[in-house]
Amino acid sequence: MTRSQAAINGANMTGSFATFLFRLTFALAGCYNLAFGLWSAFFPLHFFQIAEIGPPRYPAIWACLGMVVGIYGLLYWCVAWKPDRGRAIIAVGLLGKVLGPIGMFITIGEHWPPRLAMLNLYNDVIWWLPFGLFLVRGTTLARWLVAIAPWCCATLHSIAFVGMAALLQGGMVTEPDLVQRARYIADHPGAWTTGWCFWMASALSLIAFYAWWGGRLATPRWALAGVLLAASGSVFDLSGEFLSVIGLRDSALSMLANSDASIPAGFAAIERTATLLTAGLANTLYTVGGCVLMVKTTNLPRNVRLAMWTTWIAGVGMTVAAVAHSPGGLVVSSIVLFPLLIGWNVWMAVKWKAT
């Protein structure tokens, strides 16, 4: 295969690097579905215990549902084995992963609390991006999506960064009064949800950008390591962001409606967990993955490499601030990290040429 043909395949998401990422994704999806099916079949009440809701009258229905989900795992393994024959399977799988959250949203109510939507994160949302991209690989749309990957990352991070100040600030740990934070979250559900949705989209765009970057490097194993580290980070990131949207608002409403002294402690615990997941674990994996890609990129100008190193140092600072429970440290590291990340994202989109 000529270099020009390899470039075309990469731009269409049909190159060897993209194909390996898709195959690995479907292998992992198969493992997840099979594990979920076995868990639901053998421990049908466990999910309801974790979610702290009453058990179903007929737990066998839940067990049967789990077995159906598990069978999908076998199909995903087939696609991982022969991806060229799997488009119909992935299309059906993606349809289910879109309809599932819609059904959950419709049925949420007094006896089906919002926190159960966390299940949709792992069953559905984290698979949207790879499943969707697989369905368009090899098309004109795929070429366009590949071309705009760094632009999407820069744009979505810019919107999310501005939205953090405009939509989320009143409910974040930078507000010292816990009750005021809870009141803001309870009184501004639309702004709170929208702000975190921007960060969720940013997390997905970062994985797409890392894949775009890694696919242009001459060291595919190291590139794969960088992308997988970041993809693992996105699971923690989305978990913390879902928890912020669903768990914190649920806890905030309970705290404002009741005088139980244990509720504020529960709110603070959810808040702390979300911070450790996003600014702690996810940020660490993003930082390490980005460092791997940067070190293996040989043709970066000195000033761009300096900006990247400063970004990763700020990422380390954010992790330390999250662990140390330092709101000021989170603010300072964010002010340094995100403008720099956005800046060199744009530079790579405009001027970087892969070697």
Q: Give 238-258 pLDDT, tens digit per residue.
A: 999 999 998 898 888 888 877
pLDDT of residue 1 exceeding 60, the answer is no
How many CB atoms within 10 Å of residue 4?
Answer: 8
Tokens encoding 58: 């007929």
pLDDT tens by residue, 169-214:
999 988 899 989 999 999 999 999 999 999 999 999 999 999 999 9
The least confident of 59-68, 258-267, 307-316 is 258-267
Output the pLDDT for position 45: 87
**Cβ–Cβ under 8 Å, residues 28 and 235:** no
Residue for token digits 């959810």? 270
What separation in angstroms does the CA of 285 have from each of 61, 80, 117, 133?
38, 25, 25, 23
- Is 56 or 121 the better-scoring residue by pLDDT? 121
Tokens encoding 30: 């198969």
Share of the chain above pLDDT 90, in %: 69
pLDDT class of 5 with cuts at 50, 70, 90? very low
What separation in angstroms does the CA of 113 have from each of 37, 85, 289, 319?
23, 39, 36, 32
Output the pLDDT for position 49: 83
Output the pLDDT for position 10: 56
Q: What are the residues whose beta carbons fall under 8 Å from the beta carbon of 58, sequence distance 6 or more?
A: none
Quote the pTM value. 0.91
What separation in angstroms does the CA of 175 have from each of 182, 185, 221, 328?
10, 12, 43, 11
Output the pLDDT for position 254: 82
pLDDT class of 305 with cuts at 50, 70, 90? very high
Mean pLDDT score, 339-344: 97
Output the pLDDT for position 256: 81
Output the pLDDT for position 4: 44
Q: What are the residues whose beta carbons fall under 8 Å from the beta carbon of 30, sequence distance 6 or more?
A: 72, 73, 74, 75, 76, 77, 80
Task: Return mean pLDDT, the chain.
Answer: 90
pLDDT tens by residue, 79-103:
999 999 999 999 999 999 999 889 8
Distance CA 175, CA 195 (A): 16
- Is 187 or 51 the better-scoring residue by pLDDT? 187
Mean pLDDT score, 139-149: 93
Mean pLDDT score, 154-161: 97
Mean pLDDT score, 33-49: 89
Output the pLDDT for position 46: 87
Q: What are the residues whose beta carbons fall under 8 Å from the beta carbon of 2, sequence distance 6 or more?
A: none
Nearest to 78 by CA among 127, 29, 19: 29
**Cβ–Cβ under 8 Å, residues 329 and 280:** no
pLDDT tens by residue, 100-142:
889 888 877 666 777 788 888 999 999 999 999 999 999 999 9
Tokens encoding 158: 């810019």
Output the pLDDT for position 7: 46
pLDDT of residue 346 exceeding 70, the answer is yes
Question: Which phi and psi angles does 55 have, rounded to 5°?
Answer: -70, 155
